[in-house]
Chain A
């Protein structure tokens, strides 16, 4: 589904991402882990097109999307959330999802009718999404007035509004309590069951080990390990990256 071919991103002399190869299969949940500053968020930013690649290609379903601007990649099927929540605070919860309906099909559906209240289908989709994220009762509230957990859910919901084929979740569990993480775990699985491929960046290892089909580990902008959760947990290089070498300790 998603193929990263030798992608690199250098900021001046800093090699934030340095020749990473990575493939994510259709309907798979792949977790990207690594210490702070290892280049995880940079990879997400490269896939969604926030800044250009220094080298390498990004392929989505066989199509090269490396040179597409960010908003075109959304139409091509890439959606994301942000590590620090970025909602449209002065729009209502409903409007946050409405403006995000930008898939090709939705545009055709809404064309013409979008000048009024949006097409029937578009409204139904928003209602279903709000139900799924338990936000239906907040539909008319301003996004800025929501509690933290609700804002995280809304951002997740907004990312799904354009019906992506690939969902990039950048630390979705940050700041959540155990119960919220359980619900998040459940929702990510159900989204995957609907056929969405998920690339998850997360520090919360319990969540990662529970839902990831495969895990890739980054350190200093390079991929140092890849495999099933059990394989990665047993990998000595991974232990070293997280805990330091025995000599250093």
Chain B
């Protein structure tokens, strides 16, 4: 049972990571920096609960704010470059963050134990959940409450004018400027919101694994982050959720018996999905078809 609960936890955290990339991707920017923001959130939240003895929720809030602030600061220079150059710039940032934590040591003596990040060895003993008597089920429910809240927030944002503006920038930056949209402000805001969400996700991740280290936050994690919204499609947040369930639940865990071959399958699947459904699993057409199925007549009157 715990195996499945653990799996559901992983899916939840990865959904948050995917949603953070979703925000940025809406404006047409491919960012591989999300793993870096995730790492910052993980270390900040972990240090606050372990070293400063903070309760979890304020620690997560501060982790989100710190990640968001870093994302905002990185956004200004990074978003001056486009396309492939942006990918390179954000990979560089992600690696810089990883290497920072590879070298970062800040330990405090607590009885017989040394607590805190310890360079390459990582940050052990983030034991907030066991110390406060949370069961695996409690943790799972907590994670999914956060996921649902974030998804609801993004869903609402998507339907507001803000969502339309983000998509307009993603489609045609020149046309967006020509109708009076400040594209730098929009892109940096999207990056900041993405950083906030990644920070929350990272903070939660640190607490359920209890042990984090630099190697967990490499390019592979960054690739997962953008794979979810790309595979799931950008028409709404559920695409990202579906993709996270599919990749983490089915490809990574479900096909564990295939050993290393599943990595090959993962790459193959992305290529296949891009060819068969270039706009993602849940594209606008599918959404319309589903709407028509569940609310016949309503859609037709608009047509």
A140-B302, A142-B284 as given contacts; A100 in contact with B179, CB under 8 Å: yes
Stretch at the interface among B61-69, B97-105, B161-169: B161-169
Interface stretch among A3-11, A108-116, A229-237?
A108-116
| Bound-state Cα–Cα, A116 to B43, Å | 35
Residue contact A80 to B178, C-beta cutoff 8 Å = yes
Task: Known A87-B175, A91-B167; judge A71-B162 contact (CB<8 A).
Answer: no
Stretch from B131-139, B143-151, B180-188, B206-214 contacting the other chain: B180-188
Given the contacts A86-B175, A99-B161, A115-B162, A91 and B180 also touching, CB distance less than 8 Å = no
A98 contacts which chain B residues (CB < 8 A)?
161, 164
Q: Within 8 Å of chain B (Cβ to Cβ): is A63?
A: no
**Complex interface: chain B residues within 8 A of A96 (CB):** 168
* A 137-175 to B, binary, CB cutoff 8 A, 1 in contact else 0: 001111000000000000000110110000000000000
Give complex CA distance A98, B167 in Å.
12
Within 8 A of B (CB), among A59-98: 69-71, 74-75, 79-80, 82, 86-91, 95-96, 98
Known: A74-B178, A86-B175, A102-B181. A91 touches B284 (CB 8 A): no
Complex interface bits, B259-285 against A, C-beta within 8 A gives 1, otherwise 0: 000000000000000000000000010
Whether B180 pairs with A89 at a CB distance below 8 angstroms is no
Identify the closest chain B residue to A94 (Cβ). B164
Q: Are A99 and B179 in contact (CB under 8 A)?
A: yes
Q: Is B172 an interface residue (CB 8 A)?
A: yes
A residues within 8 A CB of B174?
50, 86
* Distance, CA A78 to CA B168, complexed state (A): 19
**A96, B161: Cα distance in complex, Å:** 10
The number of residues on chain B lying at the interface, defined by a beta carbon within 8 Å of a beta carbon of chain A, is 22
| Cβ contact within 8 Å between A74 and B284 | no
| Chain B residue at minimal CB-CB distance from A161 | B179
Is B303 an interface residue when CB atoms closer than 8 A count as contact?
yes
Given A86-B172, A114-B161, A139-B302, does the pair A70, B177 have CB atoms closer than 8 Å?
A: yes
Contacts of A103 in B (CB 8 A): 180
CB distance from A113 to the nearest CB of B (A): 9
Report chain B residues within 8 Å CB of A91: 164, 167-168, 171
Chain B residues with CB below 8 A from A89, complex form: 171
Q: Which of A75, A118, A140 contacts B180 (CB 8 A)?
A: A75
| B303 and A90 form a contact (CB under 8 A) | no
List residues of chain A with CB within 8 A of the CB of B175: 82, 86-88
Interchain Cβ contacts under 8 Å between A and B, 7 examples? A79-B178, A80-B178, A88-B171, A99-B176, A100-B179, A114-B161, A141-B303
Given A74-B178, A117-B160, A162-B180: 5 more A-B contacts, CB < 8 Å: A48-B178, A90-B171, A99-B161, A141-B303, A142-B284
